[in-house]
Every structure is written in C-alpha cells, then in structure tokens.
Amino acid sequence: MLYEKVKEATLLAQNNNPGANFYIPLEDFMEFVTYHLIAFIKMRNPISSKKMSMNQYLRHDEAYSTSYKKVVITDEEEYKIFHNTLRNAINRFNALNHKTKAEAEIRKQAESEKGSRGNRFETPITIHDFQVIGEMPTLMDLKATKDPLNTVYQRILKNNIHNITFTNYKLFSEHLNDSITEQNLTMDEKQLHHYLIEKHLKLHTLKSICKEYENMVQSKNLSLTDEERKARLQLLLYATNMPMVQQWKTYIDLVKELPPYKFHAFIQEIDSITNFIKWILLMYFQQNEDVVFDEQDLIYFNSYVDPKRFENDFVLRRDFSSQTFSIVMDEIKQGNEKDK
C-alpha cells in the first residue's frame, strides 16, 4: 500500500523534474522513501505495529506534527531547515539529548531549592527522536570508562577522528551493534538500528573507501599525484552525503573509472539525489495526509535495512593499510571542520 503510493509520488516527481536522470534506477528512490517513512514512525513509536496511521501518532505529538508537515513547503531556505531537522532526528548518536536532560535536572534542583517554579520539571524529560531504551546509557557508560571504546567515543565527539585506529573504530562499531542485538527489540527494529549505525559510523563503507584508495596508491596503471588522489578520495567520501546508504557503494565504485572532467557532474548528481527525494516527499504529501503501511511494505522495509546489503569482508593489512585508514579519517576530519 505505502510502496504503491510512494511509486506514484516518484513518477510525479520525475514529471516535475524531466532533467532528473540518475545513474541509479527510480526503484532505488521508491525503496528508500518507503523505508524512510516507515522508519520515522517505527523509531518514534515504542509499539511495533504492522499497520499504523500517522495521524494516530500525531495526536500525541503536536511538535512533531508541526515540524513534519513542513514537508509541504516549497521555500528552499525553509526546506533546508526542515531537512536539517530530519537529519538530526535520525542521528542516533546525538549526545545533545543527554546534555539537555542533565541541564534540565540541574535547573530543576536549583529552582526547587529556591522554591520557585520547581514543579515545571516534575514530568520526566523524554529522550528525543530515533532512540531506544538503553541506547543513551550505553553511550554514557562508555564515557565513564577508560578503555579504547571511551577513547573512540570522545574523539568522535571532538572530531579528533584522525587519531582513531581502525582496530578501535571497528571495536566501537561492533560494541554498539552488539548492544542493539542484546536489547528487547523486534528483529526489524534491530535491523533498523544496525542500519543506522552504519549510516553514522560508516564502518563497512569506510572499508570500501580505504580499499579503493589503496588501489589508487598501489596501481601500476595509474600515475596519480598526491593532489589527484586527494581529489578522488574527496569524491569517494562525497558519495556518503546522500541519504541513501544502500547506494553509497554504487557511487564509490564509479569513482575509480571517472575521468577528471566528470568530477563536477558526479558531485552534482549526489546533490541532486537529495533534492529529488525532497520532491518525492512533496508529491507524496500533496496526495496523502497519512502514512499507513501494511505487511507487504514491511517486506520492502526489512529488505532495505538488512545489514547484509552493506557488509563486506575487507580487512586491515590484506586490503588496505593503517596509513590509508588514517588518511581517510583525516580527510573526513577536515571536511567536518569546513562544514561548521
């Protein structure tokens, strides 16, 4: 049901953007938007439901309704604000939520001691979007330890990622995946969290990027300068700017054969993918007020978030060196600083 409506919206979006031709097929967009709409509901609602109206949930969440319905806006600047809201909502490593809770507790205690308006904080503060019970405690427990996992976590928060070794980064990602596996969640919810861990930590994607960069360094057929290798590395990483995690590898594979005169077109396509997803959502909500999904939609959903679709067996020393991993992480660090 939902997939068919998303398909209609995708075709409408294509009619409104006749020049929107992509290397990947339209079906990839349909799968992603279906996944996105189901995920947004499932991760906010603690009840795992096979069929659910968005309005049923929105009645209990006025703030969510206000922000989500901004999807129908057409002003580009307002859309950017909305898109950032969505991106933040699916960022499962948003430590700000924990900080907000801690600051509120401090205010509650201070105001209670003063005898003024302390009752404002009697209602527990809710952990924000796209998080599950036990998730933030897992991360906060890392902060209290002094082992390599804590070191990785702190360096990610402070953007000192160029100082993280591949071994420790892998341990960190595996630890978070293990913590999700151990939680009392349905299989599709667990898969979704595993998917989100890859989306934000990019372990398997980084292994693919390291493999491609290592090939550039070792290839006897390519005589690239350091600047040329850096330019191609930036393209490899730029592919991860689009929200469609399952298609990252497709574009990463394109870079090795890409002539320099097509670099700009590559960047434009990555940017256009996000814009086209915006159009699909606009078309969808012009035609539908609710998001209702059935069992067939859940088949699409589970197939999309299946971790096996992005896992690979690339390993350190056999496929890439520790130096290559450091070079890739340093490039990410520099990119993060430019985005601030």
What is the tens place of the pLDDT at every residue in 317-328?
A: 999 999 999 999
* Segment among 114-123, 188-197, 237-246, 305-314 with least mean pLDDT: 114-123
Give residue 116's pLDDT. 47
pLDDT value of position 340 = 54
User: What pLDDT sits at residue 220?
Assistant: 67
pLDDT at 90: 36
**Distance of alpha carbon 256 from the chain centroid:** 25
The domain ranges of the chain are 1-15+26-46+137-338, 75-107
pLDDT of residue 143: 64
Q: Which two tokens stand for residue 200?
A: 């934000």
More confident residue, 51 or 277: 277
Q: What is residue 60's predicted lDDT score, i.e. its pLDDT?
A: 41
Cα 7 to Cα 26, 275, 287: the distances in Å are 9, 17, 12
By residue count, the chain amounts to 340
Give the confidence band of 29 by pLDDT, cuts at 50, 70, 90. very high
